[in-house]
Amino acid sequence: MRRIYLDHAATTPTRSEVVKAMLPYFTDAFGNPSSVYSYGQEAKGAIEEARTKGAELIGARSEEIIFTSGGTEADNFALKGVAYANEGKGNHIITTSIEHHAVLEACKFLEKRGFQITCLPVDKYGLVDPDDVKRAITDKTILISVMHASNEVGTVEPVEKIGEIAKEAGVYFHSDAVQTVGHIPVDVDKLKVDLLAISGHKFYGPKGVGALYIRKGTKLVSLMHGGEQEKRRRAGTENVPAIVGLGKAVELAGQEMGKETERLAYLRDKLIKGLGEKIDHIRLNGHPKRRLPNNVNVSVDFVEGESMLLNLDLEGICASTGSACSSASLEPSHVLLALGLSPEQAHGSLRFTLGRENTEADIERVLEVLPGIVAKLRAMSPLYKTKK
Ligand code: PLP
């Protein structure tokens, strides 16, 4: 059976060009970048080349990029790093209810240790209101953290406006750009961010590598202490092959982004339109226009997301749902609840996130298969029968 992978927001396959670029750094060029002899310097040079590429893609200077173990570490570094470096100035942090757990859990950790967290609501499309951000700022605010785009519903946030507000107020601004870097244009000056989180495996790079952009002059403490790597900001021998892979993924994304964005947006819109035509009692989650080019998130009434996923899997189609199956209980997605969906609607959600290997035939296959799955599941639903 042909497998159709439609879960690129979860992770992407590592591109063959990326793997090829990484391989020599496991074997021939295995040196420790801190070593002074040529093996070491070769590895160090490769890291610096990746740093330059990363900086170029987001309009930064290479010395403003620090490599991390991924998006989660980059988010934690930004939040905890700024919080502990600026305690003297204040203890208030503003974030939003739709952030990734990497941000929300870091905030919870800080809250338990005396920091005050304001978690802003979003509208029914998942948009944060910049005026809410402005109103939430106090003289104790040290950091604002708002994601660039939602990994679940694909809504692209008004980060530029929020950046302006942060700048005017003299407050640091962090954005989790894990779902946007490599997919849509990201420019740190345009967005007016001081910190920005990046993850390699979301744009065809390897897993376990990412980066934090830190604007020159930003005060933050390190989380990792030890050697002098990464300008003393993140100790530990660098993951050279992964960093090289990230650099290659960045380079390829930079070259291909424009065309690919257009192609994906066309496929996305075809899928949204087709689902609306072929399935009744279905609604799009997230913003109809301000959304990632590859994201389709829908709620299908009277059916469970998990059941749809399992049935899609039997047809070789991989997607995801807004409910995480944890032990015996099904937790509805905090993001969908924040948009105002009921727990039932959140449980009936499906997310398709498209990628570079997907074709129009894949979309047609989903449109051919899913209506039948929904009809079959609804036939077993007493709720659907009474609603009809
Ligand atoms: N932030 C967002 C928006 C994400 O989608 C993810 C990954 O799912 C992360 C952070 C965490 O990134 P990583 O998997 O590299 O730790």
**What are the pLDDT digits (tens) for 176-189?**
999 999 999 999 99
Residue 325 annotated to the active site = yes
Q: DSSP assignment, residue 232?
A: G
The region that residue 234 occupies, defined by phi over 0 for left and psi between -120 and 50 for alpha, beta otherwise, is beta
pLDDT at 325 > cutoff 80: no
Residue 292's contacts (CB-CB under 8 Å, 6 or more residues apart) are 149, 150, 154, 156, 179, 180, 183, 184, 353
| Per-residue confidence (pLDDT) for residue 40, from 0 to 100 | 93
Query: In whole angstroms, what is the distance from residue 301 CA to residue 349 CA?
Result: 8
Q: What average pLDDT score do residues 81-87 get? A: 98
Atom of ligand 1 nearest to the CA of 210: 15
Place of tokens 């910049």: 130
Q: What is the mean pLDDT of the chain?
A: 96
Strand order across the 195-199 sheet: 65-68, 210-214, 195-199, 172-176, 141-145, 92-96, 116-120
- Phi, psi for residue 50 in degrees, rounded to 5: -65, -35
Q: ∠ at Cα 125 (345, 291), nearest 5°? A: 110
pLDDT at 381 > cutoff 90: no
pLDDT at 383 > cutoff 80: no
- Phi, psi for residue 123 in degrees, rounded to 5: -85, -175
> Is 71's C-beta closer than 6 angstroms to any atom of ligand 1?
yes
pLDDT at 326 > cutoff 50: no
211-257: pLDDT as tens digits: 999 999 999 999 999 999 999 999 999 999 999 999 999 999 999 99
Count the residues in the chain: 388
> Is 70's C-beta closer than 6 angstroms to any atom of ligand 1?
yes
Q: What average pLDDT score do residues 26-30 get? A: 95
- Phi, psi for residue 107 in degrees, rounded to 5: -65, -40
> Strand locations in the chain, DSSP E?
4-5, 65-68, 92-96, 116-120, 141-145, 172-176, 195-199, 210-214, 282-284, 295-300, 317-318, 323-326, 329-332, 349-353
Helices 240-278/360-379 angle, 10° precision: 60
Mutation pick for ligand 1 pocket among 11, 12, 72, 77 (CB with most ligand atoms within 8 Å) = 72
CA of 206 to the centre of ligand 1 (A): 13
Atom of ligand 1 nearest to the CA of 102: 10
> Is 245's C-beta closer than 6 angstroms to any atom of ligand 1?
no
Mutation pick for ligand 1 pocket among 7, 69, 73, 100 (CB with most ligand atoms within 8 Å) = 100
pLDDT at 388 > cutoff 60: no
High-pLDDT (> 90) share of the chain, %: 95
307-318: pLDDT as tens digits: 999 999 999 999
Q: Is 57 helix (H, G, I), strand (E, B) or coil?
A: helix
Per DSSP, what are the bridge partners of residue 299? 283, 349
Q: How many CB atoms within 10 Å of residue 149?
A: 28
